[in-house]
Structure 1
């Protein structure tokens, strides 16, 4: 029924008659194929995620005859509706259980993450679709519609976090609907909780057992760290001076 799954054969050419080059339907192929990244079983998870979103919306992953250009690419359209809490726009004229719809959308968005390490296993996807609690997925694709903000400080406490939020987030982009952080004491404390409550900002905490909740930040941190490792001195003491250049390169 779905012909893109299992096309990646980890065999030498003389070990099989099956073609092992990039083959499949455009729109269902994982980004690894275009980026020349190592191929794994997670490419099938990506394809399955696209199929989930197609089933939900009753349309193909690419539609050019639409009124709104935001609707052309299905994955981008679904994430936009999800992030703006407007999933009903995906099911106009249909009566559905909102919780079930939200879970299916979350499962699909987790499956189509650009970073294959963030994609769940097939077993996890099945559990998601059966009703297991699903964390909020990050934006599935790299996009110029988001920026990474970072700054170096001598200490790491609640006052520093509040200063960073005020100087780099609130005064530049406005107050967000929610903030996701890890379980560090500089994030989880009464002072910061009071500040976020003042501006009606929800605080979601990513646990060590499920770091994917903060997947976009984890991915950005890893890539910026990789940039810094290439430009800092051997003793790594000048990393703070190179941070802005690394952000610009990223």
Structure 2
């Protein structure tokens, strides 16, 4: 399933509820994608209700005489502008926002919420030539699907999908050599990575290693995974 609620959606619409509890968008996106466009435009209180189900994979709705648990193991994909006018960092168009306005805009998203995203990827501005004459990428979406399918089979053979690795299974699948451990320890100190962010970096690096056909997570895989978190600025959580 693919769900893309508008940024005016209420907390009940997103997580479910009502006098007779019904599932919300996160449960309708179970085992699929929940796309949140214009992420900072959502009410902050609405976004905060996503934090627990993003971790637990379910949502519990309690009422006076009933308690209902809905499944909610979804993948969140979100998009946002860098600032209110949309031109912060643009190579040719000057941003009209003050530093305070940019900070206030980006602060609509709490640190703990952003900490739950595996990757924070900046999308650079593309010029007209690039858009009109795009470089040839993947031959077909079918090839991408086959590659993903092979990786999912590999991960199931290992015991669980990388996104679901936790505890001992996570450390066994992402066992690091001394160089990798040193790099990750330094990154935690310098970037202020939380324990949650550390585990997410390990899962992403394991996936990068799988894509490269590597048996172990190596330094290069960790560097790439860390790079996906650096693009959003400072960590918190």
TM-score normalised by L of structure 1: 0.28
Compare the two structures and name the one with the higher strand fraction: 2
**Taking CA–CA contacts closer than 8 Å with sequence separation of 6 or more, which of the two structures ends up with the larger relative contact order?**
2
TM-score normalised by L of structure 2: 0.29
Bigger Rg over Cα:
1
